[in-house]
Structure 1
């Protein structure tokens, strides 16, 4: 299989610069990074891709048994890195992709040399001594609504996820992105995302790591970022003055400043 075609891989920026891989979250695609790429392109080689089922990926590559766990998505990331022979790349993962990056870095440490976790959550479901932001009833209702009426769920949830109600165009963009995702594949990715528990995996991270949280986020509330930061020795936590779960779209200047500052320190 052509891995680069499977994941609609795009390579841009400085061909001789350090490598940055940008990984989108659930319901999104690589276009969500369009405000980030210009801040990186002069200095860094930028790799973007779509997970299978998203964007312009190859839908024929979808296998439910593979993508029923985050390990399947991490394997895709590793295969993309291998296909491009990337070494020591900085993996920037939004939302669930932050945890995909943790798994990929553990599987192929020679490929991923640093992590940037944008609005991460290792577990969305509340647990004893841990607040993920959702109780079991919330998750059941969310997944039930998604599975019974994906387009309706998308229209209702996207503005909540994006936040920034005074800028409705942002919620509309995310709604369009959700609706462009194959519903059957989205259902699998949603269950994988919202039922995952990657808390123990955080202790395996040994590479330089930046955790970016938003000051207000309905999906990964304040406190989750601090939990991730505390679980990864030597990590850096930055709380962005941003609302919603997609700061690379709602607050690109602040997000890019934190990202490029971290990348500069790695050089």
Structure 2
């Protein structure tokens, strides 16, 4: 299969512009960037893709061994970077893709110029003085619920993750996105995501990074954003007015403005 088919790659913007590579979070696809990415089309080469198992990616490419950790997804990012011959890449990653981008940039720093990390979390589980936002029992219970009834879990959790209860259409869109994802792959990706611990990888990153931290984010609370900022040399932390975990949907104008100011 071709690279384009494998990751459902879409390109836009200026072919001669600095590349911006947009990576979506768990249960989502590249459509989650539709309010953000076009705002950079006049100056940048835009590359959007779906993680294997999400969106319109080719499900035949899914391999249990490759995707048993976030390193497999980081390898995919590098596969896209090499396949499209991208250099000086600005990587924009939402949620779990923020850490996927960190892992990719640690492995091949010469390919990346900047990282934009939207709601990043290197570890979701509380550990001693570290506040990840969840107890291990909470994560295990969530994964058990997801295993037993993925669609029911999606309908219950997506609105919580999206936040902004006064705007139910946001939660509904995230619910629809979760429900459109292959359930078997989604369950495996959820386990890899929520049990990952990449705290030690932060110190290895040498690429400048912007951290966008939302208000009242149940997935990546403010303490997590502060931790990432503290442990990423040369990082910039922006506390957003946006609430919930998906500012690319709930507050695209603020998200765009923050990225443009940083770039």
Aligned counterparts of 1:37 and 1:187: Cα–Cα separation in 2:
28
Find the residue that maps to 1:121 and give its secondary structure.
coil
CA drift of 1:70 comes to 0.2
Aligned to 1:239: 239
Question: Partners of 2:52 and 2:207 in 1: how far apart?
Answer: 27
Q: How many residues align?
A: 263
Using the TM superposition, give the Cα deviation of residue 156 of structure 1 relative to its aligned residue in structure 2, in angstroms: 0.3
Q: What is the alpha-carbon distance in structure 2 between the residues aligned to residue 52 and residue 220 of structure 1?
A: 24
**Counterpart-to-counterpart distance in 2, 1:76 and 1:3:** 10
Q: Corresponding residue for 1:83?
A: 83
Q: Distance between the aligned counterparts of 2:86 and 2:248, measured in 1?
A: 24
Pairing 1:115–2:115 present:
yes
Kindly state the Cα deviation for residue 110 of structure 1 after the two structures are TM-superposed.
Answer: 2.3
User: Is the contact made by 1:105 and 1:113 (CA closer than 8 Å) also made in structure 2?
Assistant: no
Matched, 1:249 2:249: yes
- Give a deviation string over 1:201-253, Cα, whole Å, max 9, x none: 00011111100000210100111111000101111000000110001111111
Distance in 2 of aligned mates of 1:39 and 1:158 = 26
Aligned partner of 2:21 in structure 1 is: 21
1:38 Cα offset (Å): 2.1
Residue-by-residue CA offset, 1:99-157 (whole Å, 9 max, x unaligned) = 00011111222222211100000000000010000001110111001010000000000
Partners of 2:208 and 2:130 lie apart in 1 by 24
CA distance in 2, matches of 1:260, 1:13: 16
Q: Is the 8 A contact 2:208 2:233 kept in 1?
A: no
> Structure 1: 5+ residue runs without aligned partners?
none
Cα deviation, 1:24-79, whole Å, max 9, x if unaligned, reads 00000000000002211111111000000000000000011111100000000000
The separation in 2 between residues aligned to 1:88 and 1:127, in whole angstroms, is 36
TM-score when normalising by structure 2: 0.99
Which residue number corresponds to residue 132 of structure 1?
A: 132
- Give how far 1:5 is off: 1.2
Moved over 6 A (4+): none
Aligned residue in 1 for 2:183? 183
Q: Which residue of structure 2 lines up, in the alignment, with residue 164 of structure 1?
A: 164
Please give the root-mean-square deviation of Cα atoms over the aligned residues, in Å.
0.8
Q: Structure 2, unaligned stretches of length 5 or more?
A: none
Tell me the TM-score normalized by structure 1. Answer: 0.97
Q: Is the 8 A contact 2:109 2:206 kept in 1?
A: no
